[in-house]
Amino acid sequence: MRSYLMLFSIAIFVILFLGGGLYLSANGVPNAFYQISPSVAILPALIWALLMSRGPFEKRLKHIFQGMSNQTLLTMCMIYIFAGAFGVVTQAVGCIDDLVHFIMTLLPSKALLPSLFILSASIGFAMGSSMGVVAAVSPIGIGLAQSTGTDISLTLGIVIGGAMFGDNLSLISDTTLAAVHTQKTTAQKKFSANAPIALVAAALYLGLVVVFQPTVSAPFSTDFHTIKLIPYLAVIVFALSGMNVFLVLGLGTIVAGLIGIIEPSDYTLLQFTQDIYRGFASMNEIMVLSLLLGGLMGLIQSQGGFAPLLQRLEKINTGQKHTQVYISLSIVTIISLITAAVANNVISILIIGVIVEKMAKKSGLSAAHSATLLSVFSCVVQGVLPHGAQVLLASRLGQVSPLDVIGHVGYCYVLAGVGIMVIALRSLTQK
């Protein structure tokens, strides 16, 4: 019972953050979802978890700090500040405007949004980091939206969709590595099973974007400085080469700053250093929220976490032999719920992976397919979570509500549909 009471803290956060925003929005409050900071909304949830947990107060605090020091979480926080610096410096130097004008001279208006998805997906597949893609490509999407009058939430949703394509399918992403490790298979086998689902979903999504995208129009301009395209060209080349995300963003920031100083303007080295700090500071709220979420998860895990749910799941699904379709749907359901709760698809796979491996083996479902289901549906949910790292970072960069963004992450919804269709087709072939 205590474990379930601990898990209720997650519901408290969601109710305060999303419910409060919806209530204010219904009452006509402007910028409703900015009125309640998520970093503040999570405090009552953390207090509840502290009250419901057992042990000396100092020990409970220790578990919170251990959750905050999780390597994956700290990596995300570092990406936040590098992304903030890159975004602020490139904007200050004027790189974004020149890049957008350059792109519009190359592509017809109908190809702008599909090309944005393809760019994000390509970088995501090469880099293996959805956060890196969101950090590197969101400014391009924001610049396109501002120059063409397109909804910023739409372009950010397209970027996140491409990022989750890469996170799901990349051979080197943390999601893939966690899935294949827990399912005792290889990245190559998982790719063979995963690729048809991801590629079909991408093709369908691109078709929908081409058919239903809004008319994109902007005054044609050839007034851009070629030298200011270099930072983004460097970032794209570095990312596609598989370079570490920190090096990609760090070198991109340095290149942008140097160009701003070299190119005839009043941009100085002092301003460059100040813009880097402004970029760091712009990520304060999202970093505080991520650390507090990590602390909450650390405390919940120390008190048993999801153990009662997982034990019940294991008893139900490994106590007798079930069909592969039943097991597949069970995997989809539980990985989706846990990802929604912990807001981290890699951690959710690690939590449920061992039990899923047993379930798959007993039903005869191949390890490659169970790994694919874990990867696909954890990425689907992660991409549409308003409190997920990818959505939070994109919405912070674009200064829009996370709820506005998640409504436009169309690729994740299509990917979920294709994944369910594959399971349904499997059920037909087994009859």
Note the pLDDT tens digit of each residue in 383-405.
999 888 899 889 888 888 888 89
CB-CB contact of 283 with 396 (8 Å): yes
Left if phi > 0, otherwise alpha if psi is -120 to 50, otherwise beta: which for 104? alpha
Paired tokens of 361: 């083996």
Q: pLDDT value at position 216?
A: 63
Q: pLDDT value at position 208?
A: 92
CB-CB contact of 330 with 313 (8 Å): yes
Q: How far is CA 137 from the centre of its chain?
A: 13
Q: pLDDT value at position 320?
A: 59
Q: Along the chain (431 residues), what's the average pLDDT of each consecutive run of 10 residues?
A: 74 81 76 74 90 89 89 79 84 75 70 88 81 85 84 94 92 84 89 94 94 66 71 78 79 90 83 92 82 86 73 64 81 90 82 83 88 95 89 88 90 96 79 52
Q: pLDDT value at position 62?
A: 92
Q: pLDDT value at position 383?
A: 94
CB-CB contact of 166 with 128 (8 Å): yes
Q: pLDDT value at position 181?
A: 85
Paired tokens of 102: 């350059």
Q: pLDDT value at position 409?
A: 95
Cα dist from 303 to 13, 299, 306, 422, whole Å: 18, 7, 9, 37
Paired tokens of 104: 């519009």
Residues 6+ apart with CB under 8 A from 272: 89, 257, 260, 261
